[in-house]
Amino acid sequence: MFIDSARITVKAGDGGHGIIAFRRERYLPKGGPSGGDGGRGGDVLFVVDPQLTSLHDLRYHRRYKAKRGGHGQGSNKHGADGASVNIRVPQGTVIKDTASGELLADLTEPGQQFVAARGGSGGFGNAHFKSSRNQTPQQATDGRAGEEREIDLELKVLADVGLVGLPNAGKSTLLSRLSAAHPKVADYPFTTTQPHLGIVKYGRYRTFVMADIPGLIEGASAGKGMGLQFLRHIERTRLLLYLIDATAPEPVMDQFAILRRELADYSVELAQREHLVLLTKRDAWDREPDTAELEAQGHSCLAISAVTGDGMDELLHTVGAAVDRLRLAVSSADVK
């Protein structure tokens, strides 16, 4: 099951207590204080695992607790440090503090780690307090409590190209045609119920990742339908493809306006992202769609049929070139 959000509680381990002890050995009548320090509590860490694609496990396991540190012992023996807990999450996981809403971490790289709760430090045994003026200290301190917090997790899949369209616009068919992904495709009206990712090959050795999200409907920003809850998955995309069903009774411009409006209500920046308009199902057209208004407004349009392959070579070339250019722009910005 695809799960892209979860709320969990994390509790780091408490530090172990220091103790009061004195050496009493046969040949050391004045052995002095020998109480050891407590061990440090374990941390709770998030670790990116590129093999994971969902927050499924975290939806049902809601509390994670690290081990506490061991208490100090006599003969200056320190308590053992508590074991940490590693929570594996997919690439693209965003971590926020539930109480404050503060963004704590955005985990995008394989193996990347974030310490969400730090273990408490161990207390001092009385050996720690020995001095020339205090030869027999009678004091020790308790270990500190480990951090505890409630955390919201949100998965935003990492993709270069995002597909946006009304239900039955042909997004799943296009993704299955261009990649090895196998979203459900049928010849009756329905919409994808969860995001799908596919790796698209273009050129000889290059690839980009394409994301298909559930179809938007008018009023999605007001809570209708289900597509809006998945728009987070195209927030990171470099390029948007608006898929318009040119066989539908609604004019092309009206369909495009609905999609742009719903995206803008979710995120103005997302609605302004670089994009390309795809007129789908070219094999089933009984008339040439009117794209004059779209093109007059500066929106680039391509006509395709994912079923027959008509226009697919031009689409791959155009999208591949755009992805290369956008990647280069990001790399140049990082260098600066």
Residue 336 has pLDDT above 70, yes or no: no
Give the pLDDT band (50/70/90) at residue 288: confident
222 Cβ contact partners less than 8 Å away, ≥ 6 residues apart: none
Decide: helix, strand or coil at residue 58: helix
Residue 141 pLDDT = 96
Residue 291 pLDDT = 87
Look at the domain 161-335 and name its fold: Rossmann fold (3.40.50)
Residue 195 pLDDT = 78
**181-195 pLDDT, tens per residue?**
665 544 434 445 567
Decide: helix, strand or coil at residue 246: coil
Return the closest-CA partner of residue 302 out of 239, 228, 211, 230: 239
Residue 187 pLDDT = 47
Residue 191 pLDDT = 47
Give the pLDDT band (50/70/90) at residue 334: low
Cα separation of 242 and 97, whole Å?
34
Domain ranges of the chain: 1-155, 161-335
Out of 57-61, 77-81, 264-268, the most confident range is 77-81
Return the closest-CA partner of residue 115 out of 15, 39, 47, 41: 47
Cα separation of 95 and 37, whole Å?
34
**128-155 pLDDT, tens per residue?**
999 988 888 999 999 999 999 999 999 8
Which homologous superfamily is 1-155 in? GTP1/OBG domain (2.70.210.12)
The percent of residues above 70 in pLDDT, for the chain, comes to: 88
Residue 37 has pLDDT above 50, yes or no: yes
Topology match between the domains 1-155 and 161-335? no
Q: Per DSSP, what are the bridge partners of residue 279?
A: 244, 303
Cα separation of 29 and 72, whole Å?
22
Residue 21 has pLDDT above 90, yes or no: yes
Cα separation of 297 and 275, whole Å?
13
Cα separation of 185 and 68, whole Å?
52
